[in-house]
Amino acid sequence: MRYQPVSFLRERNILSIRSFLILILSCITIKFNLGFSGTLSSLQTLPLNGHFSFDEIHHAARDFGNRYRFLPLAVLHPKSVSDIATTINHVWQMGPGSELTVAARGHGHSLQGQAQAHRGVVINMESFHGPEMKVHHGKNPYVDVSGGELWINILRESLKYGLAPKSWTDYLHLTVGGTLSNAGISGQAFRHGPQISNVHQLEVVTGKGDVLNCSEKQNADLFHGVLGGLGQFGIITRARISLEPAPKMVKWIRVLYSDFSTFARDQEHLTSAENTFDYIEGFVIINRTGLLNNWRSFFNPQDPVQASQFESDGRTLFCLELAKNFNPDKIDMINREIENLLSQLSYISSTLFMSEVSYIEFLDRVHVSEVKLRSKGLWEVPHPWLNLLVPRSKIHNFAQEVFGNILTDTSNGPILVYPVNKSKWDNRTSVVLPDEDVFYLVAFLSSAVPSSTGTDSLEHILTQNKRILDFCAAADLGVKQYLPHYTTQKEWRAHFGPRWEIFMQRKSAYDPLAILAPGQKIFQKAISIL
């Protein structure tokens, strides 16, 4: 009996394995292509008031961060809540055998692809307006708005009735659903809390396609879960926002400090005082030439001579930015209040600058910068932002290392620093906060120059961000990310800490197939291939 050589048998086995693998891969490819075609067909047959786009989809793979681009299969332009519910329910009915996911996209201001859905469906929330915006008067006024409405439009409409929302973000050209899925923080948060603390009621489409009204008294778990829930439990299609009487004018003030401890002490004094300013923020200025001269286009110096002699070159300075709302008939009283409040502070006397603007002009101030940057082609660049919530007890350690050692020569955009009172936040929402009664928002709002290899390059800024995060971890500062971005569930577990279990429970209850907001990279949809 003759035996085949061992090498011949080995080669034949390898060929057999290869043939088997090719067969398997071919089956998967055929099934994928058939599934792809079937998915398109099934979406096209859905009864909708709006429509799907299958060709004009590239804009849905972009966002303000300009770093991630995941092309969707389709973009839904809804005209009604039922369009959104029908689409999500259809994906839900397809079950785990489909890789299709769904993301809601507002004004596209996400930073790391959070509102994108690779080979999924992106819902263009700006196409959805729902019932007309309606302002309600009374003892506790409010406005009912679509989840796709921009805050700037809410401001304009509510001002017609002498009213306005209580809490804002610094940039108003964002959608209601977008900011409420995170928190919504600005200089009013020390008093009113974030935007999610000023919502009475929501209409939400869950990951099963159910349309539910929720509030503190109705579907309360969903209500609190969706607020700050990063889009994981449902898409906000309508919100009832708390309003208050709106002022006509604002006194807008800036003063400088050279010492961070004094700057922080004054901030905390103002945010804890009963009679204080209506808006309190701060920012860091690193090696800015002719700083006060640049301010003159918006502000008037109290002492022009001393201001002209002030040198900012090569220095790290801290600016306290304040606002006091008023109506013209109360101008004398407001001036006395401001004089009294400023007398309690220890800023550099020659750096007091003040301006008087309309309420809407103050709130929409960042849009002015946007227009200028767009005209210079500097808006649609990478924005590797890093937003941190730092416990009050650790802010001095943080400032000493970050502003003293890591960021020393220049900054590539605004660096915000201001304290927030935790008592104004609802701990039943999904937002994760530091374990102290007072914490600071520190926001590094950097812009990168695409072609640069220097200190304004994307790589350099990302390296700096990593150094900051590594320091926070090594020093055990108890810092939490705001607008968080992680790539593994292990990191997300660490972010949520003891709140992870309730987050998981809510996901299981409202989006058990992990259909919604895949760009957050918290949960991955389980897909059965064969």
pLDDT digits (tens, 9 = 90+) for 30-55: 444 445 567 888 999 999 999 999 99
Check pLDDT > 80 for residue 129: no
Q: How confident is the model at residue 1 (pLDDT cuts 50, 70, 90)?
A: very low
pLDDT in tens, 181-194: 999 999 999 999 99
418, 373 in Cβ contact below 8 A?
no
419, 271 in Cβ contact below 8 A?
yes
Active-site position among 281, 364, 401, 511: 281
**Which residues touch 66 (CB under 8 Å, ≥6 apart)?**
380, 381, 382, 383
| C-alpha to C-alpha distance for 327 and 339, rounded to whole angstroms | 17
Identity of the residue numbered 253: I
| C-alpha to C-alpha distance for 342 and 347, rounded to whole angstroms | 9
Output the pLDDT for position 295: 83
End-to-end CA distance of the chain: 43
Q: Domains along the chain?
A: 48-246+486-529 (3.30.465.10), 249-481 (3.40.462.10)
Nearest alpha carbon to residue 92 among 192, 206, 188, 4 = 206
| C-alpha to C-alpha distance for 54 and 60, rounded to whole angstroms | 11
Check pLDDT > 80 for residue 21: no
| More confident call, 25 vs 460 | 460
CA distances from 247 to 323, 361, 364 (A): 12, 12, 15
Active-site position among 77, 90, 107, 109: 109
| C-alpha to C-alpha distance for 412 and 275, rounded to whole angstroms | 35
Output the pLDDT for position 40: 87
Q: How confident is the model at residue 530 (pLDDT cuts 50, 70, 90)?
A: very low
Is 281 marked active-site?
A: yes
pLDDT in tens, 405-449: 999 877 899 999 999 999 999 999 999 999 999 999 999 999 999
CA distances from 468 to 387, 471, 493 (A): 11, 5, 20
- Rounded mean pLDDT of the chain? 92
Output the pLDDT for position 26: 45
Q: Which two tokens stand for residue 293?
A: 């001269």
CA distances from 50 to 56, 78, 90 (A): 15, 5, 15
**Which residues touch 12 (CB under 8 Å, ≥6 apart)?**
none
Neighbours of 57 (CB within 10 A): 16
CA distances from 276 to 164, 237, 355, 505 (A): 20, 36, 18, 41
Is 170 marked active-site?
A: yes
- Can you tell me the mean pLDDT for 245-254? 98
pLDDT in tens, 315-355: 899 999 999 999 999 999 999 999 999 999 999 999 999 99
SS (HEC) of 377-428? CCCCCCCCCEEEEEEHHHHHHHHHHHHHHHCCCCCCCCEEEEEEEHHHCCCC
Q: Which two tokens stand for residue 193?
A: 């809390």
| More confident call, 43 vs 3 | 43
Q: How confident is the model at residue 299 (pLDDT cuts 50, 70, 90)?
A: confident
Check pLDDT > 50 for residue 489: yes
Output the pLDDT for position 18: 58
Is 210 marked active-site?
A: no
Active-site position among 118, 126, 170, 370: 170
